Amino acid sequence: MREIRIQPLTREAFAPFGDVIEMAGAHSFPINHGMCTRFHDLAKVETTGENARTLISLLRGKPYELPLKLEMVERHPLGSQAFVPLSANPFLVVAAHEQPNGPSDPVAFVTAPGQGVNIHRNVWHGILTPLNAESDFVVIDRGGDGINLQEHFYSKPFLIR
């Protein structure tokens, strides 16, 4: 089995796949008479296709244990998909580049408290993978007509450590 080492999630490392959603280093300014700070424009939400609209949903995910066997990645050709945690629990983010014959070998990131991700439209990625405890998430993605899910199963699985 091929092995993937988990790396910390940073804006620079994740840029080819999407946006890191976090307050640290974000453009911000005061609002509401100085009683609130707005961390502005943290992710590019994408929706395309017939009757496209942006959805906001809540998810509750059961935790996974490491090491984790990875056999499949998915992508959404008609819209981006953002995951914003509602707790400080880390989660695993897996992503892969597009190649002529499908996705490349994946890379794996672990989030720090307060970090979320926005996976750009048509980027191969793993499923939502909370670690340590059951975790809730705000999910922002695309609704509308058309098929917005493609799955790829690797011929040989990966082991994520």
Whether residue 119 contacts residue 82, with contact meaning beta carbons closer than 8 Å, is answered with yes
Percent of the chain with pLDDT over 70: 100
Write out the E strands in the chain.
2-4, 6-8, 18-21, 28-31, 36-39, 53-61, 68-75, 81-85, 91-96, 98-99, 102-103, 107-110, 116-119, 124-125, 129-130, 135-143, 150-160
Phi-psi region of 80 (alpha: psi -120 to 50; beta: other; left: phi over 0): beta
Q: Which residue has the tokens 């939502």?
A: 128
Which of these, 158, 51, 25, lies nearest to 103 by C-alpha position?
158
pLDDT for residue 153: 97
Q: How confident is the model at residue 81 (pLDDT cuts 50, 70, 90)?
A: very high
Instruction: Tell me which residue range forms the domain holding 89.
Output: 2-160
Q: What is the pLDDT of residue 49?
A: 96
Tokens, residue 98: 């597009």
Q: Work out the pLDDT band at 83, boundaries 50, 70, 90.
A: very high
Q: Domains in the chain: how many in total?
A: 1
Share of the chain above pLDDT 90, in %: 100
1-17 confidence digits (pLDDT tens): 999 999 999 999 999 99
Residue 91 has a pLDDT of 98
Task: Quote the pLDDT of residue 47.
Answer: 97
- The CATH number of the domain holding residue 73 is 2.60.120.480
For the segment 95-109, the average pLDDT, to the nearest whole number, is 97
CA dist 144 → 20, 123, 127, 137 (Å): 25, 19, 21, 21
pLDDT at site 121: 97
